[in-house]
Structure 1
Amino acid sequence: MKDVDIPELGPHDVLVKVKAASICGTDVHIYNWDGWAAGRIKPPVIIGHEMSGYIVQTGEAVKYWQEGDYVSLECHQTCGHCYQCRTGQGHICRDYTILGVDFNGCFAEYVRVPEYNLWRNDEDVLPEVACLQDPIGNAVMATCAAEITGKKILVTGCGAIGLLTVGVAKALGAAKIYAVDINDYRLKIAEDMGATATINPLRENMVEEVQIKTRGCGVNVVIEASGDERCLQDSLKTVNNGGQVVLLGIYKDRVLLDLANEVIFKGVTITGITGREIFKTWYKTAELLSSYLSVEPVITHRMKMKDYEAAFQLIQTGQCGKIVLYP
């Protein structure tokens, strides 16, 4: 941690005083300086991309934002010119950059944000909830990619986004939600978020348990958020014929699948999810937060940003949900 200059603004930038910022799995990769981080990050860069705060200054060309606005931000800065951007698919822009990865982020007192990336918050949304709209958006997009209402859902992986997915599936009317993880601490949070039952593969056979709980029918939808190859392979065995599998977890290596028997012959639909639809998913997320969705159980720790080392070390233990930092 060090003192830096307050960012200078371009004509279309705003300066936001950070109220709350949460730690993402991407930040953990960078903190641990793994292979992905070493190949992507070009130091020095301030990390962090999940935040809420108040605008304190605007660039000279900014028209629709003003000092005092309560905001969060979409972390992907899109090119605006590729085929995907020009056809409403900016979340899969071919040349995007990410705040806190490719340019300075929000683990600071102030952050500079392009005005296009801003999202206006309702004043009654708590800062620690408002800063989570980025990962909640991942969960909303993944869950909305499948037919959820009245269906049996399997969520594999109870990291923050998996836990949020359980809550979103509950809010969208899933009949049964089965949550899978090897971490009992997080399985308890999954129950608090609305899981009908939890399964720990270290003690139970996931495939057999799902078959028992669904009376041999299997689940209608799998939302795979673990990024674990074995978990994905087993989850394909639990989905019924004609079911849907939504892939949200990130795998370290190539994955071996029995596509013929577990996908093709079963007529299973597989959908890959990255980010959020800009800004379509944000509107859905805001409406869910104002009505049926509570994310409080996922926020397990609130810490000062100066104590970031203790926060990252706590994440390594697995005994936490989402950690929110305050400058």
Structure 2
Amino acid sequence: MQNLISLLQEQKAAYTGNHKDLTKLINKIDSTTHAPTSEKHIKRMVPFVKTPLLVDYVNTTLKHYFEQKNNFTKDLNGLSFYDIKETWYLFTLLVCSDKIETTVSHIIETMLASKNADLSIARRILNLCKNPVYQTQLNDIESYFEKHNKSTKVYQWMHALQVTSPTTFNWEFVFQLQASQVTTGKTEFTDNLFLSVRGFEPKGNGASFQIDLTDSNRDIYATWNDFSKENYCSFKNKKIQLSLVPNLENLKDFIKELEAVFNLEFDRTYDFQYFTRGFKNKNNIQKWLREK
């Protein structure tokens, strides 16, 4: 499969405008490291909107690439095999246009219909661009997420704890609890064991949290998310059966089960924490964890 930049370059013959403009666009995108996340990133594409032939060329090429890459859907492992930063910078260029570009509408409609996980990226870009031309598309996305977020695990859990997330996009929190002197069967395990919990702005498919259990040697390892059904973890490549499939709501009960299974005790005080600026009542999570 072609990557997006190669596709732009290989089809230069189809571009009837000044090829220097196209080269500048490619070089600008090549200089970036990730998809746009701020107004500063959005402004990188604004100068290119002044060249209508370039906008039309990007409009046609991006739609072809979107369909070639199976509409950016994820595989069973949750991976999307497409050029993320290149795609979303070109999408940004089109969103900055003074008229509705067909590819933008096509991508948004398709992602809404398929509940695509990366719809959250399109949402962020539309909000950062603030282009009134796309207000209808933005309203459709916001309506989707308004209904969608209320049903996600992270919002339900935070609501119960009276924790409010920031109004900015791409918010997340991560905290880690630590235990030591683990014993399982006849095997003594004296390295540190870590339980890491991450919550984040829900993706288009409803993903909103991830829980990881591991140690520095990775003798013990497991990861769970909104869609997990496996109630076990691995210890030196052997399955250890658990009664719970962990999620945010049953996290305290899951910690108790780990303590019983491995004969250990977790410190309920964060070993590590990170919260995006803007959370309200975030300390309620720590208080909740300490209430055994």
Give your verdict on TM over 0.5: no
The structure richer in helix per residue is: 2
